[in-house]
Structure 1
């Protein structure tokens, strides 16, 4: 039976590359979401088995309607790619004139990268749970984080903060959702040539030999969707039944599993265990 994929930010860049890779298999009904009707219609028309839906991930009601339409089309949902995101490089350190209260900062990056991702994740959980019982264990939610979600980024601290937050979300929710047959993982690419960084300044900041082939990114996503064991660039093997709650740093010509920080005393793992597996009777 044909599987159903939903990809936010699917009209260009990494989202479109993944849609293209899925479309080529002939095994998926691919649904790409974006805010630009013209671009989305053209993108979907170029890929067999692909449909475009106009939706702004910041608008929960609009996003929820699209999820419902897609689910009701086949009464299943197998893969949600939480990919929509924007960058921002306004000077967060700029000093304002000393004339009183400074102007409100622009946090639109948070609205898209964080709020939009959480709305998407929340809806994905709902429709995964309504999918056929046979799909348990093969339901996938993959987030697009960034190298800026693993390491600090002084150039874009707000952007970096949102991408760090996605790693926290994956590691926090992944173990619980795995018990429901939902695999939650995050990819963390370095510099990939996509419209999100369509700026000549990037060429001088990041030499081309540092850039990552977008096909490596889409290929890594398809490997995650297989649910089988994977081996990273350092030879670390993760078995199929442990392939969840992971952060994969995509760099150079391969990827690397990035683990949580080590614990430094005896109290820390006890605290973390309570945070992860305890309950509050409020």
Structure 2
């Protein structure tokens, strides 16, 4: 349904489309919600938009994109069929919350959220300064969007997954990718708890993805061998939401009932499920997460 189409009574039981929410980077941040919801990166050709386009091609999804850039967001939604754009700043909890609420009120379910909003680091951390206290590094955008924004998105996704119909349990997906070293730990800390509620949480750890965030100057820092396309990442995301078992590029088999709390490294057409570090003392016998009662 397009934004502003008016009030509609939704019968989610008879619906044949999943709802997804997707979000995008700073140039165009987008979140998608639908029957099978996900979030899409809203640069003109980022990972989020690539995921949204692939979902749209299936004809099985209602997609909602959440982003800060109104002009680009509307253009992205207009280029797809079952897609609606919602303008919001992912670093502002109230804006994200109001958007999720609006989408859920319309769709009555949430299936997939792709927390993908992010910016590239443009502060040269290793710059040398001769004397005195060095100037404060400008990392506010990096931490607010890539970390705080992703945690807000995950928190809201959890809330609306819980309110979705029971028939979607075990098929709900939250996929996180941004400043991923920090968010891998977050994924693993919430993954087991939410799996008990029928939600699969996984972190995607891509290499250097060619998007509008990668300027020619930044691209020059990297070998061509490590550069990957948005399609490489989208292919792995679709493996995660397909409800199938997977076997990664080193032959590691992960059954679909274990395909949660994973960190998946994407390197070109190859992908690898990275093992969780083990404890080697008395902590080895302690559950990885304490499951909390309602």
Change beyond 3 A, Cα 1:278–1:193: closer
Change (3 A) 1:166 1:74: same
2:114 is the alignment partner of 1:81: yes
Q: Name the SS for the 1:205 alignment partner.
A: coil
Alignment partner, residue 6 of structure 1: 21
**Counterpart check, 1:224 vs 2:252:** no
Counterpart of 2:36 in structure 1 is none
How far the C-alpha of 1:96 sits from its partner, in A, is 4.9
2:225 is aligned with 1:193: no
Displacement of 1:206 in angstroms is 2.0
**Pairwise CA RMSD of aligned residues?**
1.8
1:183 match: secondary structure: strand
**Quick check: 1:233 aligned with 2:266?**
no
Q: Which residue of 2 aligns with 1:277?
A: 290
Paired position in structure 1 for 2:197? 180
User: 1:10-29 counterparts in 2 under 5 A?
Assistant: 10=40, 11-12=42-43, 13-29=46-62
Shift in Å at residue 97 of structure 1? 6.4
Q: Is residue 48 of structure 2 the alignment partner of residue 33 of structure 1?
A: no
Q: TM-score, normalised by structure 2?
A: 0.83
What is the CA distance between 1:267 and its match in structure 2? 2.2
In 2, the alpha carbon distance for the partners of 1:164 and 1:95 equals 25
Closer, same or farther in 2 for the Cα pair 1:203/1:91, shift >3 Å?
Answer: closer
1:187 aligns to what SS in structure 2?
Answer: strand
Q: Map residues 195-214 of structure 1 onto 2, 5 A cutoff.
A: 195-197=212-214, 199-214=215-230
Shift of 1:89: 2.9
Please identify runs of 4+ aligned residues in structure 1 that moved more than 6 A: none
CA distance in 2, matches of 1:215, 1:93: 32
User: 1:98 Cα deviation (Å)?
Assistant: 4.4
TM-score (norm: length of structure 1): 0.86
Unmatched 5+ stretches in structure 1: 146-161
Residue of structure 2 aligned with 1:109, choices 138, 142, 152: 142
Structure (1/2) with the larger helix percentage: 1
Segments of 5+ residues of structure 2 without an aligned counterpart are: 1-15, 25-39
